[in-house]
Amino acid sequence: MTIFIPTEQTSAVLPIGQPQRAEVVAATEAWIERAAQMLALPLAPVPVLFDLRGTSAGMFRARGRDCWIRFNPWIFAKHFEDNLHFTVPHEVAHYAVHCQRHRRRVRPHGPEWQRVMRGFGLPPEVTFKLDLSGIPVRRQQRHAYRCGCRDHAVSTVRHKRMREGRARYLCRYCDAALLPVD
């Protein structure tokens, strides 16, 4: 179960509106065109969605022949210029590598991606260090478990797997099985 943790600051940041979304889409298309020229590779425009939540500013996704780029409208609202200049080309670089490698699996921030980022004239950095206060974030509910040496907070996914008998997890320190706390 995913729950949202409300804070006093959560409502302080509102997602970007239609004019800024249009600017992000235009920037995405411009970076795709630049990547196509740089790699001498035909790159079609991809759908740009503004449905990402949490602490990630952007995400490139591919499923079969379908590709799309997702952006977090709250993080863009708080740090619009930074995201326009770094997050957009970061995600376009993922798309370009995906197309260049003929949909074969490659490391997400491996040498191919780094090469494209350097070709863009940008540092191949993976994450940004910006203030995210006021951004709504999702938190996984945790479940209490215990082993022979300590208490553990287990994710809902692992909790369900153990409860259904599909998995057994061991403590990395004492090698004892994790058991639910009553």
State the catalytic residues. 91
Q: Which helix (H) or strand (E) holds 70?
A: strand 66-71
Q: Is 146 exposed, middle or buried (0-12, 13-18, 19+ CB in 10 A)?
A: middle
Residue 61 Cα distances to 31, 107, 140, 169, angstroms: 17, 14, 22, 30
Bridge partners (DSSP) listed for residue 61: 68
Q: Tell which phi-psi region holds residue 40, choosing left (phi > 0), alpha (psi between -120 and 50) or beta.
A: left
**Residue in the block written with tokens 């996704």:** 61
Nearby residues of 78 by Cβ (< 8 Å), 6 or more positions away: 13, 130, 131, 132, 134, 135
Give the closest residue to 128 by CA, choosing from 60, 75, 77.
75
